[in-house]
Amino acid sequence: MLLLVDFGSQTAHLIARRLRSLGAKVTIVTPEEAYESASVHKPKGIIFSGGPQSVYADGSPKVDTKIYELGIPILAICYGFQLVARDLGGEVVGGKKEYGPAECQMSPSTSSGQAISKGLSNNFVVWMSHGDEIVKLPGGFVTVGSTEHVPFSFAIDETRKIIGLLFHPEVEHTEHGDVILQNFMDYCGIIPENAKIDTNLIIQSIRESVCKSYVIGAISGGVDSTVAGALVAKAIGDHFIPVYVENGLMRESNREHVEKIFSHLGVRADIVDCETEMLEKLQGIEDPEEKRKTIGAFYIEVFEREMEKHVKDGKDIQFLMQGTIYSDVIESKGTKHADKIKSHHNVGGLPEKMKLKLLEPVREFYKDEVRQIGTLLGLPSDFVQKQPFPGPGYGVRIRGEVTKERLEKEKHADRILLEELEKAGLLDQVFISFPVMTGADSVAVKGDGRFFGEVIALRVVESRDVMTAVWSRLPYEVLQRISSRIVNEVTEVSRVVYDISTKPPATMEWE
């Protein structure tokens, strides 16, 4: 067993997921629990996750330093490595920040760390997300690898069996990340076990949770709610009542797609039309957090109305099913020491008091795992490979107030983007694509006259589990066609810009 100490990293749960996929059993604990748990359970190895704080900040998470005396191998990542360095006599300062890709160059002059560096290239891309820098290693540590800005990116103390990484091996965009984790497992003497997802266990868990009550299901048409709905439908059959809220914030073809999903699941659908009411609720709201919470609260209001209808028919409805996945949870401050990035409408955006209990069958899984579950359930490819779309819909892709006029512009630009990506044969190659009404205006020339209009930003990225992403290298001619069509066809748009930010530091959406 491996013990994972969660210092509040956005990717702490992802570390456990990667290790489990390699066949390791992982238990997650808080820093406060780490020493006692390690002393009692005697794990084969310990992993320190990253975290959002500085090791010198007031109230920053710490471990009992006696944990270093247990002789158990430790893999310390990012904040975890900085904490080790500080605890053992090194020096950490607010140095050169690194977010996103960097190149790690392995040190040729040392034979140390061969067990952990086995199978790695001399130079490989790693993913950084740190604000502090280790400027002096503790005694006993030897540098294994460096990046351009950080000389101690990869180090090892072979006597104390501590390996330090300032990059994140758990994210998909770090080359050889799984190799490093596998090497650590080998270093700890972990014998891999089968880690296949068992859908029958998930279905059985739903049955045990729900018993004989009914479940209302929030179906948006996206992959997550579709897979969650399929699991619940298999678990409880006609005790599942799926509901689609047509609030005007979803893509134009979404209603037909949802009806197709319901037909496949063999359950009767409730479709609620409420676009006018939704826009009235959003009137005058510009703050993105307030928008998310308003949309989330309205969803609950609609579902509770639907619940009352069915209760009058004698149905005992106790649960609301949502397609919440782990990336939603962690961005909405899912663990003790994590920072809140934003409220997801289905997590931090929900009202405090609800009449319904939440049922979230895929809450502990990542996007690629949810797709895998859908495939195991026999769902069609167009259900499980559909491009993600946020639960709050276009509401978080329009900066500032959501009006009927701006909503129509966003939909028009989105339609153009999808059409051109499909024409170019690129739509299936990107993870997500969307325009953003930025709320910023710029001058342009239309018809030989000065024109002042809104700027639209395009966001097209490649990702697998949503936790990290890189911008798609679209051909220039495709970008040109998209830009020309949007400026010419969407009213009062002055120009189009392309977002080339990675995640981190940027998030997937703009709001």
**Catalytic one of 13, 130, 168, 337:** 168
Residue 104 annotated as catalytic: no
310 classed as catalytic: no
CB distance 55 to 63 below 8 Å? no
C-alpha span between 398 and 409 (Å, rounded): 10
Structure tokens at 351: 């009202």
Cα–Cα distance between 209 and 215 in angstroms, integer?
A: 11
Torsion region of 192: left, alpha or beta (phi above 0 gives left; psi -120 to 50 gives alpha): beta
Interior/surface letters 321-345, b for 16+ CB within 10 angstroms, e for the rest: bbbbbbbbbbbbbbbebbeeebbbb
Six token digits for residue 472: 């798609």
Quick check: 78 and 504 in contact, CB under 8 A?
no
Is the sign of the CA dihedral 16, 167, 86, 116 positive or negative?
positive
What are the CA-CA distances from residue 327 to residues 81, 265, 368, 468, 501 (Å)?
Answer: 24, 26, 11, 10, 19
- Check 13, 78, 104, 511 and give the catalytic one: 78
Beta strand residue intervals within 192-288, DSSP E? 214-218, 240-246, 270-273
445: enclosing H helix or E strand: strand 432-446
What does the block give as tokens for 192?
Answer: 């891999």
How many other CB atoms sit within 10 Å of the CB of residue 260?
14
78 is catalytic: yes
**Residue pair 38/6 in contact by the 8 Å Cβ criterion:** no
CB 154 within 8 A of CB 146: yes
For residue 217, give both structure tokens: 């299901």
Give Cα 389 to chain centroid, integer Å. Answer: 13
Which of 98, 104, 133, 170 is flagged as catalytic? 170
**Which contacts of 188-192 are long-range, i.e. CB under 8 A and separated by 24 or more positions?**
188/2, 188/44, 188/45, 188/73, 189/44, 190/2, 190/23, 190/24, 190/44, 190/45, 191/23, 192/22, 192/23, 192/24
Cβ atoms of 350 and 295 within 8 Å: the answer is: no
Peptide bond into 475 cis (omega under 30): no
The catalytic residue positions are 78, 168, 170
